[in-house]
Amino acid sequence: MMKVFLVDDEIAIRESLRNSFPWEAEGFQLVGEAPDGEMALPMIRDLGPDILLTDIRMPFMDGIRLCEEVQRTMPWVERIILSGYDDFAYAQKAMSLGVRHYLLKPVTAEELRQALQKVREQIEEKRRDREHLSALRERVTHGSQFLRDKLLASLFTDEGNPADDDALLRQMRGLGVNLSASCYAVIDIFFDAKDEDRAVCRDALFALAEMSGGGVQVCGAPHGARALVLGDNHGDTEERAYSFANSAIRLPELITLETLIFAVGETVDDYHAIRRSMKSARHVRRLQAARGEKGRRIVGVDEVSAPSAALSEAELSPLYERLQYASQEDVEAVMTEYTASMDPALALGYLRVAALLAAQRMIHEAGGDPREVLPQAEVAEALRTEGEAGFRQLAALLRRAIRLRNDRGPEAGSAVSQARRFLTSHFSDPNLMLQDVAGEVHMSQSHFCALFSQETGLTFTQYLTALRVGKARELLATTRLRAAQIAQEVGYNDAHYFSYIFKKHTGVTPSEYRKSAAGEDFQPNPEDF
């Protein structure tokens, strides 16, 4: 089933397309939507749609700019432009970006069906072409394609002569391949596939590289394949490398592989230093093998540590995230800030639930037993004590959990830990974007996306949405703020979009959740801890 992502700043248009078009009946899945290009871009990276359906005129980042970014980093995503303006200049610009379909609003279901069907046929044709590529390559093993692959593979040997490398550069140029660039990075790719499937996997990688317009070159290797990434500078090269790996790991031909490792080497700024990048990539790949690391991973030279415990969207809460990185001395300040916006009559009861769940989870993640660290008698005492004394007893239990975490838990200095701390403090900013967080930890966006999802088990978009929805649930249960005000409090300028996201995440509307929460007394059972 083809995956579609929808971008339009008009909520009425999104609701109409979402609800009136028979997506599944037509063989499509609407995997996500956004009101502007800036919000859409990280979600598209996360969700990996086959087709982007986008308006042209939107605030922040318009549809043309969004298509440019998708074309640059994810050229395999087909695009359909929507517009309320019969503007030939826009259409011409869209066509220059490879957009083959341009629909004028209002779009009928039949017009959309025809456009989606044509795009699906194009995607399926490309996939059939990849399936036939293996046989074609066998027939041209003595031709230029075979020679190109052999020449490229020679760049990845342990030793090389600068004069020979310069000659290789000229030979590749004679074959129509320009390897001149400001920066380079090598990706060493390992996959555990049967002999008959190896050629199919490699050809899928070759086809993906061809979509980069010369920015990525792939050749085979005994353990899988290798890719040479060319860029204009260090940041651009890193972005291209991780974008290629993020897309390759989702290729239909590779999606069923149990073990698939993309080891990204260091970025170098000299053609003659490509082997240094190769050696660093190979070191990362071999280190994964030596540790018995299996699964599907994208790993760079700075990310060879084991991933952290996976998080759950349903369980993620702003209080837990704040406590994850708080010191024992910060506990009471975090608790006070957490309850500042709550109705005083409900604050302590809600705090009991959130604080004890956070403590229990920290203890579990540190390898401890909550019943030993938090004796049932002390938990029961904290649950029945009112006022300031109850607040202090909860703080004491949390400090005990944090002490165990500090003694046993992982260090909190990794890039992902820094990003999570930043997000916990800034998730309510409606202008917060993926590039802001990636910049905070000095990574390219694609690099950050790959690392973040592997360490947390959640994509950036899932994580940010879970934080916002978690805070919205707290405010709905403990304040009298209207849903539109809560939307603003948690980072959504569009109240309708907030309601859609909230229901998609929880299964109920904000008003339904508030009615349900009104019947709860927020008194947990001490035996649960």
User: Which residue intervals of 48-161 are DSSP H helices?
Assistant: 63-73, 88-96, 109-139, 144-154
Could you tell me the residue range of the domain that residue 86 belongs to?
2-128
Same domain, 480 and 374: yes
Same domain, 269 and 168: yes
- Average pLDDT of the residues in 334-358: 85
For residue 525, being part of any structural domain is answered with no
For residue 248, being part of any structural domain is answered with yes
Same domain, 32 and 158: no
For residue 527, being part of any structural domain is answered with no
Same domain, 209 and 262: yes
SS3 200: helix
- Average pLDDT of the residues in 189-214: 85
Confidence of residue 349 (pLDDT cuts 50, 70, 90): confident
pTM of the model: 0.70
Quote the pLDDT of residue 141: 44
For residue 137, being part of any structural domain is answered with no
State the SS3 of 293-344: CCCEEEEECCCCCCCCCCCCCCCCCHHHHHHHCCCHHHHHHHHHHHHCCCCH
Q: CB–CB of 205/230 below 8 Å?
A: no
Q: Give the CATH number for residue 13.
A: 3.40.50.2300
Same domain, 366 and 245: no
Confidence of residue 293 (pLDDT cuts 50, 70, 90): low
For residue 133, being part of any structural domain is answered with no
Same domain, 219 and 351: no
- CA-based radius of gyration for the chain: 26
Count CA within 13 A, CB hemisphere, residue 443. 24
Q: Which residues of 42-70 are buried (b: 16+ CB within 10 A; e: fewer)?
A: bbbbbbbbbbbbbbbebeebbbbebbbbb
Q: Give the CATH number for residue 424.
A: 1.10.10.60
For residue 138, being part of any structural domain is answered with no
For residue 341, being part of any structural domain is answered with yes
Residue linked to tokens 């979509």: 211
Whether the predicted pLDDT of 373 surpasses 70: yes
Q: Give the CATH number for residue 171.
A: 3.30.70.270
More confident residue, 120 or 101: 120
Same domain, 259 and 390: no
| Cα–Cα distance measured from residue 517 to residue 250, given in angstroms and rounded to the nearest whole number | 40
Whether the predicted pLDDT of 213 surpasses 50: yes
Q: Which of 506, 469, 459 is nearest to 489 (CA)?
A: 469
Same domain, 27 and 111: yes
Same domain, 175 and 100: no
Quote the pLDDT of residue 526: 64
Query: What percentage of residues in the chain have a pLDDT greater than 70?
Result: 88
Q: What is the pLDDT of residues 113-147, one digit of tens each?
A: 999 999 999 888 877 765 565 555 555 444 566 77
Q: What is the pLDDT of residues 192-201, one digit of tens each?
A: 887 778 888 8
Q: Which long-range contacts (CB under 8 A, 24 or more apart) does 117-126 make?
A: 117/26, 119/2, 119/51, 119/78, 119/80, 120/2, 120/27, 120/28, 120/50, 120/51, 122/78, 123/2, 123/50, 123/51, 123/78, 126/207
Last residue of a domain, one of 99, 128, 157: 128
Q: What is the pLDDT of residues 226-256, one digit of tens each?
A: 999 999 999 889 988 998 998 888 887 888 8
Same domain, 296 and 376: no
Number of domains in the chain: 3
Same domain, 122 and 174: no
Same domain, 279 and 329: no
| Cα–Cα distance measured from residue 359 to residue 364, given in angstroms and rounded to the nearest whole number | 9
